[in-house]
Structure 1
Amino acid sequence: MVCPCAAPARPQRGRAPFFFPVYLCPEIQPESCFQLRQAHKNDFDVGGFAKCYEMTDLTTNKVYAAKIIPHSRVAKPHQREKIDKEIELHRMLNHRHVVQFYHYFEDRENIYILLDPVCECSSMAHILKARKVLTEPEVRYYLRQIVSGLKYLHEQEILHRDLKLGNFFINENMELKLGDFGLAARLEPLEHRRRTICGTPNYLSPEVLNKQGHSCESDIWALGCVMYTMLLGRPPFETTNLKETYRCIREARYSLPSSLLAPAKHLIASMLSKNPEDRPSLDEIIRHEFFLQGFTPDRLSASCCHTVPDFHLSSPAKNFFKKAAAALFGGKKDKARYFDTQNRVAKEDEEIYKLRHDLKKTSITQQPHKHRTDEESQPLITTVAKPEALPETKQIGDSIRMIVRGTLGSCSSSSECLEDSTMGSVADTVARVLRGCLENMPEADSIPKEQLTASFQWVTKWVDYSNKYGFGYQLSDHTVGVLFNNGAHMSLLPDKKTVHYYAELGQCSVFSATEAPEQFISQVTVLKYFSHYMEENLMDGGDLPSLMDIRRPRLYLLQWLKSDKALMMLFNDGTFQVNFYHDHTKVIICNQSEEYLLTYINEERISTTFRLTTLLVSGCSLELKHRMEYALNMLLQRCN
């Protein structure tokens, strides 16, 4: 419906790009002027009703994807009803992996829907057309995002009903977003479901073809078809005859080539189960061994739109390892050893990226390194005691403070005690604090409402190359650190000029990165390459602001530990961080002003910070509690 106070102008005919003013309701956006350009190779797959343009608001320079639908194409009531329903459903959605709906308006000729812009790749259909097939790591990368967006839709009781490659759009950061809600519908009870056969033929489920109606399980079936298509380059039920395609779908008859690995085959087969009740839920899909046992990149380069990525040894990584090996083993003077190193790197490269199942650990220490025992290598087992009944709030008082401060004895403050302590006592203190919280907090259904703004450092990026040099990480203030295999630690400060070197706990040497002492030159070179690699190839792991308290001591890594589920890092000031692989959630514990704070970064990289004293009073969700329990057991494993 046209706003009564709008004064629409007729678009000027001419060669693209062309310009025309669109006058909207003054209460919404007074006299906004848009520059409109026909989208060519980054065209949306918007179906028969609409064309997509790139539209720029000249008052803000904000770029939109404009879906423009001529009134002549929706002249019939049922056609207009379809557009109105799409707008109604889409405008209420707000999720990282769903195309954002910004605004819609209309003039006498067209309906305009303003959406997220897309990059040159446009959609997964464009990528697959150029690439033919995708690698398993890429499929995991994209499927995680599809599942995240689809789970959000289902939680809103919305069925997409047309999941296919052409409806997965890619932005400039190579993030996937679900789009085109032209066939989307509300989830209805079984007896009220529409029996309409709609969607893309190759992705229809047996129950939809049999006119039993769409359900969440129908979207899961389509997701199975999408995964199959990504890996093999064609839909599972594609034939030269539509009637035969439908027969294959009804019988769930398709082939799984031997080229697919077993986890991929199993996941596809489960999603393409003929009986909807046998299909996995979205949560079960993400927990499947296809995701848990395989490498998933944190981000992809835009070059993946048209070329196969080299996860074994990407170009930046290859340069990194070549230069690092040259720095450590010499250049022309020792060519034989250099090339031998490169041959070994080619065999070891997967260890850089894959989340290994065996536990790996290293530390800064004042004692010789201990050999790892069989007992230390055993899988972690969560055995945290169940909490006692919560005492009355007025009885907690100082006991809460005592628990979360870790009973630090005669120290005047916890931070002072940690600074002067040994590595073992740092770990023991954090473990005691975390255990005290878990054993005393009540059960609850949600995370506390408290939201604090705190200035602490945390790890935003990391690289494990301990089979060669050590473990590298980047802090939120852009300090880069490497804990070398010999137990020494080196940090490159945010100015990229100053280096801190810790041979032992608490003993720091400071020098210029460009004038390093001779004995440190090779390690500084490796440190710089770690810094360059993480800056160019890894993305940040959350939305926490980068705040720095200059009064606090510089952070450097004391210990780290990898299990098959998570990475643990413990720092000199007691900051303790655990990153969980399968959903990219993070738990961070730090000490500030004699208060322990816990920060939780969820699957959407959104952070929440609160005091541990708040947890002791209010409790937290099982989702967070289970992660805290696992983090404690990792720390106890490392302490032992």
Structure 2
Amino acid sequence: MDPACFLPSHQFNGSPLGSDLYKTSPTFASSKTGRTEQPKAVEPTRIITDPVTGRAYSKGRLLGKGGFARCYEMRDLSSSQTYAVKVIPHSRVAKPHQREKIINEIELHRDLHHKHIVKFSHHFEDSENIYIFLEHCSRKSLAHIWKSRHTLLEPEVRYYLKQIISALKYLHLKGILHRDLKLGNFFISENMELKVGDFGLAARQEPADQRKKTICGTPNYLAPEVLLRQGHGPESDVWSLGCVMYTLLCGNPPFETSDLKETYKCIKHVTYTLPVFLSIPAKNLLMGILKRNPQERLTLEEILDHEFFTKGYTPDKLPPSSCVMVPELNPPNPAKSLFVKVTKTLFGKRKSKVKKSPSEERDEISKLVTGLVKTSICRQMSHKTVEGNEVTPLSGQSPSSSPAVTVAEEGSRKSISRSIRGTMASTSEVFEDCVTASAVIESAIALLKNCLSIMPPAERNPASLACHEHFVWVSKWVDYSNKYGFGYQLSNRSIGVLFNDGTHMTLSANWKKVHYNLTNSKHFSFPASAVPEQLQGQMSVLQYFASYMEQHLMKGGDLPSIDEVGQLPLLLLQWVKTDQALLMLFSNGTFQVNFYNDHTKVIFSKPDHSCLLTYINRDRNSYTYKLSSIAELGCSPELQHRLKYILKLLLERADA
């Protein structure tokens, strides 16, 4: 391997949330229990310098050690930023396959951007070592908490497991298996947030018949199929998650024995004991996870939907004292319950049995929604990826399910419509539009069927158009339908939200004009400074979506942005998520499909004229073709595969 692959370092801006105690793990666990011992050795402080950038770092205390590396606390002398730094001596990676493992870890980890995954900052090497700079979590790891506490309360376990599952869903969506989930690899930040770390054994997911049969990981957390040399799959990570849950609740791993061979035997035969003090939901969940057959195990979505989570209290935050002592946990207070009721009323969920006058509801919304949005969106909507528009659901929504859209009563819509007309008569404009999602689907099916039926086989795509045609596409998106709705940013820099109640709100690129749709056939337009009182709650959500996407998400391709030219805003009619892709249908006939695993996108635009197909590849480079050219000349197998999948998806929607 070329040493230059480590230089220059790949850096990501942004400061870590605290200072982190890191443990580096060997290829196999240092102990069969998976317990992490705090090293006592402290090496003298010295200065480490990046030979390329000249940045100097003060090397501090030893945080942990493993088979290949030691981990130290280091401080950037120019910025005072603190990192946890893996230091790998060249002597430990002298053989090609050893160096390849380090390269693999770097390449996997540096592309991960998620609230509950340890941040990769940058790396470099000098004549002695390779240095990997990581987020620094000051409250050590779950292994240290477990060592102090031995067992945790069920609400605490739910708190940590939800964060682990959030990170795992993100990893699996990107086709990455962690393969070494254990207490010592879950790090705790200054503000008590869990971060999954140590990707030394992580690997990209392979088809079942191509999986590597290597037994790797920590003995107590290995899945039966791994011990039987059938390879790792997503289900193997789920098994390890079950072992983590058991360990936190019961005080020891489920298959721990005094003899390693006996431990392996217990794992293969799934022999373990459920203590009597466990709750019934906890026992049922563990039994659903620790299944010998990987296909019978609960999925991550099913785990979150289990009564252990849905019927049990999960604290929003844990006190730092819980690292060493049992915390005092209080159930939700009445004020929080009121927040939930107001949110459900505002965003189309089941209405309260106690009817309130419109003025009373508006007063409650005005007082509560801003605080609710700030505390809820800002804390939870922080899943960042390399391509930030690929944000996974933030709650238990199944990727294969369509969005939950609860349409408000027609009478309520008419009431809102009359109210808006009355209060905004001097400043609002009313427009009519009657494009439907079914019409877009029918048109798209006809186009694709015709194209796929006549196009000849080909090895490559036809010549792309020399210049970009002006059309609008989704450059960023956020799925927050578990609370509010689906948000997106268009290439013209306008922001839209399709709320769970079926209403739609759009903010112009300059943030000066708002369009509000009660249905897909009627919408209002008014200055952002004069939004009607009854829409202030939704306006607050829209503004937070806009701020979040602007600050945290990356544009999903290299297509140029285009300016708004005064026409009506593009209206999102429908969005659908499957296990492979996201489909978005718009009021002008445009539809876009984003594929999760490789971040490729297919956009169909100008369906009423000469239909254009734009393909954005995994490197975010875009190519636009006339659909008629693809029908005549054919396209690459890569694009053809995607077109066939899109047609199948559209046909399923047409039949739904």
* TM-score tier after normalising by the smaller chain length: 0.5 to 0.7
Partner of 1:35: 57
Partner of 1:432: 446
Secondary structure of the structure 1 residue equivalent to 2:563: coil
Moved more, 245-254 or 579-588: 579-588
Secondary structure of the structure 2 residue equivalent to 1:52: strand
Structure 2 Cα separation of the partners of residues 569 and 483 of structure 1: 14
Secondary structure of the structure 2 residue equivalent to 1:433: helix
Select which of 146, 157, 166 maps to 1:133: 157
Whether contact under 8 Å (1:101, 1:115) holds in the other structure is: yes
C-alpha displacement of 1:57: 7.7
Whether contact under 8 Å (2:471, 2:605) holds in the other structure is: no
Partner of 2:47: 20
Partner of 2:125: 104
Whether contact under 8 Å (1:488, 1:501) holds in the other structure is: yes
Larger Rg: 1
Matched, 1:543 2:556: yes
Whether contact under 8 Å (1:202, 1:238) holds in the other structure is: yes
Matched, 1:354 2:354: no
C-alpha displacement of 1:447: 8.9
Structure 2 Cα separation of the partners of residues 552 and 428 of structure 1: 28
Structure 1 Cα separation of the partners of residues 187 and 463 of structure 2: 34
Partner of 1:68: 87
Partner of 2:427: none
Select which of 487, 496, 520 maps to 1:480: 496
Partner of 1:259: 281
| TM-score in terms of structure 2 length | 0.56
Matched, 1:245 2:263: yes
Whether contact under 8 Å (1:203, 1:222) holds in the other structure is: no
Structure 2 Cα separation of the partners of residues 236 and 248 of structure 1: 9
Whether contact under 8 Å (2:213, 2:231) holds in the other structure is: no
C-alpha displacement of 1:632: 1.4
C-alpha displacement of 1:628: 0.1
C-alpha displacement of 1:259: 2.6
Whether contact under 8 Å (1:543, 1:607) holds in the other structure is: no
Whether contact under 8 Å (1:455, 1:549) holds in the other structure is: no
Compute the RMSD of aligned alpha carbons. 6.4
C-alpha displacement of 1:35: 1.8
Partner of 1:414: none
Whether contact under 8 Å (1:325, 1:338) holds in the other structure is: no
Matched, 1:624 2:656: no
Whether contact under 8 Å (1:18, 1:37) holds in the other structure is: yes
| TM-score in terms of structure 1 length | 0.57
Partner of 1:216: 231
Partner of 1:52: 72
Moved more, 491-500 or 587-596: 587-596
Q: AA paired with 2:506?
A: S
Structure 2 Cα separation of the partners of residues 556 and 182 of structure 1: 41
Partner of 1:376: none
Q: AA paired with 1:460?
A: W
Secondary structure of the structure 2 residue equivalent to 1:180: coil
Pick closer, same or farther for the CA change 1:115–1:515 going to 2, 3 Å: closer
Matched, 1:491 2:506: yes
Pick closer, same or farther for the CA change 1:146–1:207 going to 2, 3 Å: same
Deviations 1:518-542 (A, max 9, x none): xx42024323234436756997597
Q: AA paired with 2:271?
A: R
Deviations 1:132-157 (A, max 9, x none): 524665443232345467x558xxxx
Whether contact under 8 Å (1:263, 1:289) holds in the other structure is: no
Matched pairs, number: 510
Structure 2 Cα separation of the partners of residues 443 and 232 of structure 1: 55
Secondary structure of the structure 2 residue equivalent to 1:514: helix
C-alpha displacement of 1:293: 8.5
Whether contact under 8 Å (1:320, 1:530) holds in the other structure is: no
Structure 2 Cα separation of the partners of residues 442 and 231 of structure 1: 56
Partner of 2:529: 514
Partner of 2:254: 236
Deviations 1:348-383 (A, max 9, x none): xx999634958866899x9x99xxxxxxxxxxxxxx
Secondary structure of the structure 2 residue equivalent to 1:618: coil
Pick closer, same or farther for the CA change 1:327–1:575 going to 2, 3 Å: closer
C-alpha displacement of 1:596: 1.9
Structure 2 Cα separation of the partners of residues 484 and 183 of structure 1: 37
Q: AA paired with 2:272?
A: Y
Deviations 1:401-420 (A, max 9, x none): xxxxxxxxxxxxxxxxxx98
Whether contact under 8 Å (2:459, 2:635) holds in the other structure is: no
Secondary structure of the structure 1 residue equivalent to 2:650: helix
Structure 2 Cα separation of the partners of residues 220 and 586 of structure 1: 28
Alignment of 1:435-446 (within 5 A): 435-441=449-455
Q: AA paired with 1:203?
A: Y
Structure 2 Cα separation of the partners of residues 448 and 317 of structure 1: 58
Pick closer, same or farther for the CA change 1:220–1:556 going to 2, 3 Å: closer
Whether contact under 8 Å (2:254, 2:273) holds in the other structure is: yes
Pick closer, same or farther for the CA change 1:293–1:436 going to 2, 3 Å: farther
Structure 1 Cα separation of the partners of residues 499 and 73 of structure 2: 51
Structure 2 Cα separation of the partners of residues 18 and 219 of structure 1: 41
Structure 1 Cα separation of the partners of residues 457 and 162 of structure 2: 38
Aligned-residue identity in percent: 21
Partner of 2:199: 179
